[in-house]
Structure 1
Amino acid sequence: MAAGNGGTVFAGTAKQGCQRQCGDITVPFPFGIAKGDDTSCSLSKSFSLTCSTTSSDDGTAPELSLGSNVIHNISDSELRIRTWSIGVAYRCYHTNGSLYRSWSAWSMLEDDRFTLSEKNKLTVIGCDDYALITGRSLKAPTLEDDFSSGCITSCINNQSGIAKDGKCSGKGCCQISIPKGLRDCEVELDTLRNNTQEVRSFNPCSFAFLGEQDTFEFHGESDIKDFYELYSRINDNVLVVVDWVVEPNKSCSSEVTECKGMYSECYNVDKEGDGGYRCRCKQGYQGNPYLEHDLGGCQDIDECADPGTYPCYGVCNNTLGSYSCTCPPGSVGNATKENGCVCSPEYIRNATSGCEPAAVPRSNKPVYILGFGLALPLMVIGLLGLYFTALEWKLAKLREKYYERNGGALLKEKLTTRGGVDVSSMYIFRVQELKKATDNFADSKVIGKGGNGTVYQGTLTDERVVAIKKSQRVDEGQREEFINEMVILTQINHTHVVQLIGFCLETEVPLLVYEFVSNGTLHRHIHNNVRTGTKRLSWDTRLRIAHESAGALAYLHTDTRMSIIHRDVKSTNILLDENCTAKIADFGASRLVPLGHDEVTTLVQGTLGYLDPEYFHTGHLTDRSDVYSFGVVLAELLTGQQPLSIEKCPEERNLATNFLKAVKENKLLDILEDGVVKEAGYEQLKAISILVCRCLNQVGGNRPGMKEVTMELDALRKSGKPTNLVSEDNYDETSCSHMIDMEQTDPDTLPPMPTSDTIGDSF
């Protein structure tokens, strides 16, 4: 392989008799440049490219394109295309805040062989703006499986709130990741409520665009102010990475014929084997695996001719697919390392000829050989002892370094100052134990991924099944979240809260060990039961899960030594065991409320569709913020709908807004799940609808506390199910209208889908 711009370019060639270059871009087979309507230079029409001449201010230049996408380079697994092929979303405003220019961005890859890479990120630049990105993958063709995520920026209404150069942390610039395998995406950009003259006087335009992270660097205040310079820099420098496969939704098999020659092989692009496949040369060979051997296909690498890549400081012999490197005669050691060969005992080094036989008197040879034979084992044993001692010391220092870097001292300090248990009283796992429990953190053991880390299923030596949480990143903020979660969980002892068993801080990233909850998330049972084969939850089970979850949150708010606000209550953070018993999980975003205080002021964080609008606007976090999020979960249980439904029209996307609107317009039965209507009693359904309305009140002080919510749900469970089921004729949805301020909950007055600075959850 030879290095190319942004990827590895085939060392092979184009198809014989076909154009190989378009400007300075190499076009290797299976891609090919079409000659008019003749596409025979490529593997198929899907890989047929166009090389045309374009005009610009700098003159004319060749331009390579795949359909409407302009290509920057081609590697053995990726294409990089120009950002302006997709477009840059922007909105420009007059100083009074009124819009005068806007543009949306979207990508539609014309062929299933091409998908957007996870190397891309959505970047938003502005001082009072948010962007929503939606997309669809080949593996998720239905609307409810679409990907959706959001990103929000704020400058706190003045220039001093803009992040410094290079930092996209939400202050003037934010970035979020996208998943692998999206076939198309759309980026919508809009402003928040604070679109004031003060903001637009120094930030006239906002931008949102998709591109490879390393191809864009935020320049701080200059990017906020200068529309034309930033727009030009995005178009000139930012690239979008596109993955390609030979065949989508197929795996390697005996029927694959695209991998040519005996030295090429087929490989699947993902472990499931249904994401498509590509070809590559076998180990020790290079060339184009899609061409026959004598036409530029995979050839044996002469490693001896490339000592820079394959070092050999002895005698090098090339073999098919490999090479050997041995020390010269009279010497022993590792010939692949410089000075790795030393003269054998009976040889001495000569400055000009290398190792030569030692001139030892004949009468002294037996004594010399005997002495060396006795001394050598002792020397080896001594050196091995020193080596293993040094290695153990080095590993111990490394574990100590990781322990300190991962916040071991901070954890001990927090547990001591907050009255928690001492670190020594918790079970401290060694990393070898957890590696063994998870088959060295194998991909097959992954049971969940989220913004705070990856969760593995493991089996300890005592046969206990556990869940092991491993951070995805090692920056200071992420470690702080892990330590925060541990501090909180040491204070919790509740049946319906996931139990922390122990931790390990001696690894590069901290690890937390929890009890294993076997039946997945509540979200999975509500929304994906058909696809995953799980049984639909009955109304009685839903009501019990709601009651158990509410009881756990009430415990966190009022029964711990210091009140705990979860801050990310949602159906994916409610786990179910084999009996569908609820357990609250994921305390990475939670906050402790100091004694004598009712609220804390903190950076807004939460999940799209669940976030308390009052907390979003003020930054003041109270236990009533959890109540609002729990109200959304109750609405999910009643309707079976997602908290954010992208396939609906904008005014009906938000479930909380839609629920309140249905109550106001006397149309609640239109959005309730059919099974719930059939199974629930009239009085139960009316009462719980009232409770949802109260939880979703826009004013936090008008919402009930979680203890009151728990008591009402308990009363509903005990009330049983009356025989008269709800019908269109006898249900009065307006019975709860007096519990909420309908003018205040009009959908037009709600904030536009509030979220955190960088939200990465998908729906």
Structure 2
Amino acid sequence: MALHAMLLPQKLLLGAFILAAIAASQPDSSCYDTCGNVSVPYPFGTTDGCYLDLAFLITCNDSFEPPKPFLGSSNIDVLDISLSDGELRITNFIASDCYNESGLPVHDFYSDLTLEDFFISYTRNKFTVVGCDTYAFIYGSGVQNYTSGLDARCDHIDSVVNGSCSGIGCSQTSIPKGISSLYLSVNSYKNHSAVRSFNPCGFAFVVEAEAYNFSSSDLQQLENTKSFPMVIDWAVGNETCEDAKKNMTSYACKAEDSYCYNSTNGPGYRCNCSTGFHGNPYLSDGCTDIDECKNPESCDNKTQICNNFFGGFNCSCRKGYEEDGSEKSCRAKENQSRVIIIALGFSIGLLALVVGGSWISCALKRRKLLKLKQKFFKQNGGLMLQQKITSQRGSMETDKIFSTEELEKATNNYDKSRVLGQGGYGTVYKGVLPNKKVVAIKKSKINDKSQIEQFINEVIVLTQINHKNVVKLLGCCLETEVPLLVYEFITNGTLYDHIHNKSLSSSLSWEKRLKIAAETAGALAYLHFSTSMPIIHRDVKSTNILLDDNYMAKVSDFGASKLIPLDKTQLTTLVQGTFGYLDPEYFHTSQLTEKSDVYSFGVVVAELLTGKEVLSFNRPESERNLAMYFISAIKEDRLVQILEDDIVNEGNIEELKEVSNLVGRCLRVRGEDRPTMKEVAMELEGLAVMVKHPWGEDDLYTEEAEYFLNGPRHSFNIDIGIDCSSTVGYSSITNQVPKPIDDGR
């Protein structure tokens, strides 16, 4: 009894402390919950003591009529605040550039936005470019850095389609998650000289997708619009729900009937009222019961009575009615004998149907499954693949047609922990086959018909390639909801990781870097000169070059590649590639040639030699583009100053200069001035042999050089059937008699 008397005051004191802490974190009755026409619910507030912390301060500017709310102390105009969605709608300025009749700029506005605590919604907004002679860049930062570009072109206003942003007059793309700051710049190819009569300006902006619908009138009238609405995601703090709950005094979900969920865009968490409740979960008494019975559609008022209870409701039958198996209605009670007769007749009829219909059901299921497989086969481009194989007039074959069950088991039903990476054309998973062989499985985007051609293109390209420095295609499956490709698994990550990760780059010696460059060049030369139909990769970059445990290079990702007919030297295509690596001549003319791969390869080797990012806005303007910076360093004889410190020593200065001069030739502006990929590969192979063994007797590099010069050509057949569980046999491989390859095709 005495012990209890001693503990009681302590418990009361602790309880009082907790209540005081909760009260201190809540707004009082004097707080304003509106600013002009905008509701400002807690945790947001306009005065001290009325907001959760400074991140949620709303400045209400009374100099406007009606008053306008701004985020914190910034000039970011707040249009709406949503508690349930965790979103803010704000205004964001448009970047533009305009020209007069003489082609001189009238004005040039950039657009920038910096958020201190919140992130730009990657699901609700689109990066948009409007114009007929316009290109724009977007630079973002936050949890990650982001750079992208778009262009919009058209020759006449009649070619513009209202409501379409596919590149003619208007282009759109999504932005990634984790971006809190944006900078937009916009420019013109020809100062709008050819299109000025209907489009004197170009525009770029990030806009709420549902708030903007492109119209041809925008080409002239958008100059009068200064801003568009944009959505940002907000969250509390930078903890997860699990960590935040450990300190209940600072935990923001104060309402008893509320729950916590983690932000999907940056750190932090949000609160919502539980099912059956509504209100403000950030207030201690903010979530109140919803009286569902006030909604006349909750129950059938003719046959049911609505019963509301705390957190929910139910419907019960009125007198004279009984349940009929439906929650939304009841039926009138019938005479029991009549019910028995009806039930007996129903049972007899049902028994007859069961016996006669069981085999029909099985047949229908088999037919339904067959139709579903046929549907997926067509949907995933199976017919297109067959037509392209026939048109190639060659024999091509993958090693195996995998079943859906095999690949689901290999990836643990495509578990998130098995994801190796995500790109423009799909997701790559790590898989383990029953024979313990580790593979990489590429799953294309779900129901994205625009990606089917790239997927089929990658199959066609890879089935023609048999080279040790190209990632090998092991098999595929088309009769699933999304098409699947199975590759050999490369164990050591990407070349990009090894160049830019400090813990990895230190082990990347000059010899290894030269070996990687030589092997990559050999693979690209093989694609250009040794396949039955020349192949242009079109997206050569360090993230598409994989390394195995022995640092052997493997060129990957052929989703953007093109097959070049033997009677053509170039193709006119929609520009595709990665900024920084993209051939400037191809970018401006849309004329794709093998020399476009040469330029991109030159950028990769410059990246290998310097250890620098190919495009970085953290460097001075003269150094932002690595290719231009590298060329100027060669011309000004200060090459050694920009090379990676770890690879430079007195014994290899001449080798480094020789490789750098080769890179300079690859980066020439005009494609016809660049060497061929075969010439590049032969020079690098020669240097690699000398570095590896000064006496020129290294068997490994002799073998590689021989493979490149005399590489066997292998032919394959693909036979895509209806049953994905079946397999096809391996093709026979014919080794042609080796013979030297000259510069002609």
Normalising by structure 2, what TM-score?
0.80
In structure 2, the residue corresponding to 1:252 is in which secondary structure?
A: helix
Partners of 1:246 and 1:595 in 2: how far apart?
61
Instruction: Give the Cα–Cα distance (whole angstroms) in 1 for the partners of residues 106 and 253 of structure 2.
Output: 54
Q: How far off is 1:482 after superposition?
A: 1.1
Residues 72-151 of structure 1 mapped to structure 2, 5 A cutoff = 72-76=79-83, 77-83=85-91, 86-109=92-115, 111-137=116-142, 139-140=143-144, 146-151=145-150
Q: 3-state DSSP class of the match of 1:200?
A: coil
Give the C-alpha shift of residue 619 in structure 1: 2.1
Deviation string, structure 1 residues 609-666 (Cα, Å, up to 9, x no partner): 1111222232221111111110111100000011112112223211111111001011
* Counterparts in 2 of 1:500 and 1:594: CA distance versus 1, 3 Å: same
Is 1:46 aligned to 2:55, yes or no? yes
Matched residue SS, 2:66: strand
Q: Distance in 2 between matches of 1:426 and 1:311?
A: 62
Distance (whole Å) between structure 1 residues aligned to residue 231 and residue 377 of structure 2: 37
CA, structure 1 residues 554+373, in 2 after alignment: closer, same or farther (shift >3 Å)? same
The question of whether the paired residues in 2 share the 8 Å contact of 1:553 and 1:706 is answered with yes
Measure, in 1, the Cα distance between the counterparts of 2:314 and 2:405: 35
Q: Does 1:71 align with 2:78?
A: yes
Counterpart code for 1:610: Y
**Is the contact between residue 416 and residue 422 of structure 1 (CA under 8 Å) also seen in structure 2?**
no
1:126-160 deviations in Å (ceiling 9; x for gaps): 222221111211x34xxxxx2211112222xx316
Contact 1:113 1:246 in 2 (8 A): no
Q: Where in structure 2 are the equivalents of 1:332-347 lying within 5 Å? A: 334-336=325-327
Aligned residue type for 1:407? G
Match of 2:333 in 1: 354
Residue 230 (structure 2) aligns with: 240
Which of these residues, 139, 160, 164, is aligned with residue 163 of structure 1?
Answer: 160
Three-state SS of the structure 2 residue aligned to 1:180 is coil
Q: Give the superposition deviation at 1:711.
A: 1.5
Tell me if structure 2 keeps the 8 A contact 1:643–1:654: yes
Distance 1:203 1:600, change over 3 A: same
Amino acid across the alignment from 1:290: Y
Query: 1:126–1:196: structure 2 CA closer, same or farther, 3 Å change rule?
Result: closer
> Following the alignment from structure 1 to structure 2, what is the Cα–Cα distance between the partners of residues 553 and 311?
71
CA displacement, residues 368-409 of structure 1 (integer Å, 9 cap, x when unaligned)? 999877776665676776666545544543332232122211
Aligned counterpart for 2:647 among listed residues 670, 673, 676: 676
Question: Does the aligned pair in 2 maintain the 1:163–1:171 contact within 8 Å?
Answer: yes
Aligned residues of 1:94 and 1:204 also touching (Cα < 8 A): yes
Contact 1:266 1:277 in 2 (8 A): yes
- Pairing 1:607–2:578 present: yes
SS in structure 2 of the partner of residue 720 of structure 1:
helix
Instruction: Pick one of 527, 531, 535 that aligns with 2:500.
Output: 527
After superposition, the C-alpha distances for 1:218-244 in whole angstroms (9 at most, x for unaligned) are 113x222x1xx3244563xx3111010
Matched, 1:176 2:184: no
Give 1:324-339 correspondences, 5 Å limit.
334-336=325-327
Indicate yes or no: 2:535 matched with 1:539. no
- Report matched runs for 1:662-741 at 5 Å: 662-678=633-649, 681-720=652-691
Q: Give 3-state SS (helix, strand or coil) of 2:242's partner.
A: coil
Opposite residue 669 of structure 2, the aligned amino acid is: Q
Secondary structure of 1:198's aligned partner: coil
Deviations 1:447-478, CA, capped at 9 Å, x for gaps: 21222222222334444333222333645432
CA contact (8 A) 2:496 2:542 kept: yes
Residue 661 of structure 1 aligns to which amino acid in structure 2?
Answer: S
Compared CA separation, residues 198 and 374, structure 1 to 2 (3 A): closer
CA contact (8 A) 2:298 2:306 kept: no
Q: Is the 8 A contact 2:540 2:581 kept in 1?
A: yes
CA distance in structure 2 between the partners assigned to 1:509 and 1:701 by the alignment: 41
Does 1:554 pair with 2:525?
yes
1:266 alignment partner, one of 260, 278, 281: 260
Amino acid in the other structure paired with 1:97: G
Q: Residue in 2 aligned with 1:286?
A: 278
Shift of 1:251: 5.0
Letter paired with 2:182: C
- C-alpha displacement at 1:500, in angstroms? 1.9
Counterpart of 2:69, as a letter, is L
Q: Distance in 1 between matches of 2:334 and 2:39?
A: 49
Contact 1:252/1:268, CA 8 A, preserved across alignment: no
Q: Structure 1 residues 315 and 517 mapped into 2: Cα distance closer, same or farther (>3 Å)? A: farther
Going from structure 1 to structure 2, the CA distance change for 1:422 and 1:117 (only over 3 Å counts) comes to closer
Q: Distance in 1 between matches of 2:58 and 2:214?
A: 33
Kindly provide the amino acid, as one letter, of the partner of residue 401 in structure 1.
K
Matched, 1:277 2:290: no
Name the structure 2 match of 1:753.
none
Tell me, what secondary structure is at the counterpart of 1:678? coil
Structure 1 pair 653–522 and aligned structure 2 pair: CA distance change class (3 A): same
Greater relative contact order (CA < 8 Å, ≥ 6 in sequence): 1
Which structure 2 residues correspond to residues 162-241 of structure 1 after superposition, within 5 A? 162-192=159-189, 194-195=190-191, 197-220=193-216, 222-224=217-219, 226=220, 229-232=221-224, 235=227, 238-241=228-231
Rounded to whole Å, the distance in 1 between the matches of 2:223 and 2:362 is 58
CA distance in 2, matches of 1:159, 1:624: 32
- Name structure 2 gaps, 5 residues minimum: 1-25, 695-745
- Which of the residues 355, 362, 377 maps onto 1:403? 377
Distance 1:333 1:485, change over 3 A: farther
Q: Deviation per CA, 1:588-609: give whole Å up to 9, x if none.
A: 1110010222222222221101
Aligned: 1:594 with 2:565: yes
Cα distance 1:413–1:310, how it changes in 2: closer, same or farther (>3 A)? Answer: farther
Q: Which runs of 5+ in 1 are unaligned?
A: 1-12, 141-145, 342-348, 724-763
The 3 A distance-change label for structure 1 pair 534 and 683 is: closer
Q: Which letter maps to 1:705?
A: T
What pairs up with 1:24-43 in 2 under 5 angstroms? 24-32=37-45, 34=46, 38-43=47-52
CA distance in 1 between counterparts of 2:522 and 2:693 reads: 25
In structure 2, C-alpha distance between the alignment counterparts of 1:375 and 1:202, rounded to whole Å:
73
Name 1:732's counterpart in structure 2: none
Measured after TM superposition, the shift of residue 108 of structure 1 is 1.2
Q: Which segment is superposed worse, 627-636 or 672-681?
A: 672-681
C-alpha deviation, 1:558, in angstroms: 1.0
Q: Which residue of 2 aligns with 1:491?
A: 464
Letter in 1 for 2:33: R
**Structure 1 residue 318 displacement after superposition:** 5.6
The size of the alignment, in residue pairs, is 660
Shift of 1:354: 3.3
Gap change, CA 1:40 and 1:679, over 3 Å in 2: farther
Q: Give the match's secondary structure for 1:208.
A: strand
Letter in 2 for 1:100: V
Question: Residues of 2 paired with 1:186 and 1:520: CA distance?
Answer: 31
Describe the SS at the equivalent of 2:440. strand
| DSSP 3-state at the match of 1:404 | helix
- For residues 652 and 529 of structure 1, the distance between their equivalents in structure 2, rounded to whole angstroms, comes to 21
CA distance in structure 2 between the aligned counterparts of 1:687 and 1:174, rounded to whole angstroms = 43
* Structural mapping, 1:50-65, within 5 Å: 50-53=59-62, 60-65=65-70
**Contact 1:39–1:45 under 8 Å retained in 2:** no
The 2-side partners of 1:668 and 1:650 are apart by 18
* TM-score w.r.t. length of structure 1: 0.79
3-state SS of paired residue (1:39) = coil
Shift of 1:320: 5.4
Letter in 1 for 2:271: C
Q: Distance in 2 between matches of 1:464 and 1:69?
A: 55
**SS of the residue aligned with 2:585?**
helix
Indicate how the Cα distance of structure 1 residues 212 and 493 shifts in structure 2: closer, same or farther if over 3 A, else same.
same
